């Protein structure tokens, strides 16, 4: 397989699906001639034209409403929200319309729309532009929420999302766009399911449950821990809703210890929801309390040193793992 960036993988997924199905189109702010804020849609306007690559006003509620309306009449829109922070402006459309229509109308209609949203901290964008709201959307029945961490998963999951008949919130961490990874050759067909996690690293001593950019940080931590004789299993959820609970329980049965690592805030967040599910369904297999690594409970600072202090690190993951995992025999 070749090695490409996360953004190139996303662009290939969109291009291949637009070629495969003429009902697929993309709309959002600055996605046509400019190629998108993160260059994901670069070159698509030249190939597909204004009808299928549509620039919009800076009005997220209008963008989302247009996408939902077109989905109701048979199109398959990809709705790009410039940043997940702005999705709050479209939240009424996403939560009260997209998520509920097929339930309110007894399944007579489907909403095949993808809401692409970059998000996350670390790019020095300040408190109002560095947030993840996966917990908010993951709380809503009727929405699917996915957060790929690798180029392979990004392409495969975006293709699956575009083909799905339900509304999908597709979250992309801003710091992952330049990350490189192996992806099959362009045109070689593959998809990744929207309801399956993946073990990114096998281990026996503790399970690190994580997603998005924290997958990479957790893998780095696992490599450091291995030097000290602690073998951590890294489980990439990939999907926040639905969640692959079977995979989680299977891993907990093997390792008997869990650390949840996420970038977001601790209280009432995604990690606490996962911890509750583990306690409910796998309590008897746990040999220690669940550890939890999160960002600091503050709005994201603009100052670079303070921003770095607010984000979870490899050292944080290592410390929490060691707090609940016995030192290997012979270790000092």
Q: Which residues are catalytic?
A: 60, 129
CA separation for the pair 260, 78 (Å, rounded): 31
| 317 cis-preceded (ω within 30 degrees of 0) | no
Strand locations in 140-296 (E):
144-146, 168-173, 180-183, 198-201, 206-210, 232-236, 239-241, 258-261, 291-293
With CA atoms as reference, report the closest residue to 293 among 326, 315, 268, 325: 315
Q: Which residues contact 89 (CB under 8 A, 6 or more apart)?
A: 59, 60, 61
Contact 155, 106 (CB under 8 A): no
Contact 29, 80 (CB under 8 A): yes
- CA 206 from chain centre, in angstroms, equals 23
61-92 in b/e form (b: 16+ CB < 10 A) is: eebbbbbbebbbeebbbbbbbbbbbbbbbbbe
CA separation for the pair 267, 55 (Å, rounded): 37
Torsion angles phi and psi, residue 79, rounded to 5: -100, 110
Q: Which residues contact 96 (CB under 8 A, 6 or more apart)?
A: none
- CA 246 from chain centre, in angstroms, equals 19
String of DSSP letters for 176-191? GTT-EEEEPPTT----
8 exposed, middle or buried (CB, 10 Å; 0-12, 13-18, 19+)? Answer: buried
């Amino acid at each position: 397989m070749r090695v490409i960036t996360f953004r190139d993988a996303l662009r290939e997924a969109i291009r291949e699906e637009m070629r495969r199905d003429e009902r697929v189109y993309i709309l959002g702010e600055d996605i046509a001639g400019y190629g998108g804020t993160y260059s994901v849609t670069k070159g698509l306007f030249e190939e597909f034209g204004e009808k299928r690559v549509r620039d919009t006003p800076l009005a997220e509620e209008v963008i989302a409403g247009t996408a939902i309306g077109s989905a109701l009449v048979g199109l398959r829109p990809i709705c790009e929200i410039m940043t997940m922070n702005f999705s709050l402006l479209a939240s009424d459309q996403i939560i009260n319309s997209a998520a509920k229509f097929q339930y309110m109308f007894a399944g007579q209609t489907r909403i095949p729309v993808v809401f692409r949203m970059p998000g996350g901290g670390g790019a020095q964008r300040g408190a109002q532009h560095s947030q993840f709201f996966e917990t908010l959307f993951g709380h809503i029945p009727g929405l699917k929420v996915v957060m790929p961490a690798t180029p392979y998963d990004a392409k495969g999951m975006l293709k699956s999302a575009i083909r799905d008949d339900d509304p999908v919130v597709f979250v992309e961490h801003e710091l992952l766009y330049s990350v490189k990874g192996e992806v099959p050759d362009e045109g070689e067909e593959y998809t990744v399911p929207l309801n399956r996690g993946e073990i990114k690293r096998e281990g026996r001593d503790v399970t690190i449950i994580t997603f998005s950019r924290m997958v990479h940080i957790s893998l780095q931590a696992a490599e450091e821990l291995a030097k000290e004789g602690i073998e951590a299993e890294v489980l990439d959820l990939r999907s926040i809703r639905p969640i692959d609970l079977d995979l989680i329980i299977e891993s907990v049965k093997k390792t008997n210890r869990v650390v949840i690592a996420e970038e977001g805030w601790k209280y009432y967040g995604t990690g606490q929801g996962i911890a509750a599910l583990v306690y409910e369904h796998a309590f008897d297999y746990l040999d220690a309390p669940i550890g939890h690594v999160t960002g600091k409970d503050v709005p994201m600072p603009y100052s670079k040193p303070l921003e770095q202090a607010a984000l979870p690190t490899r050292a944080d993951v290592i410390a929490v793992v060691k707090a609940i995992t016995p030192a290997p025999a012979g270790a000092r």
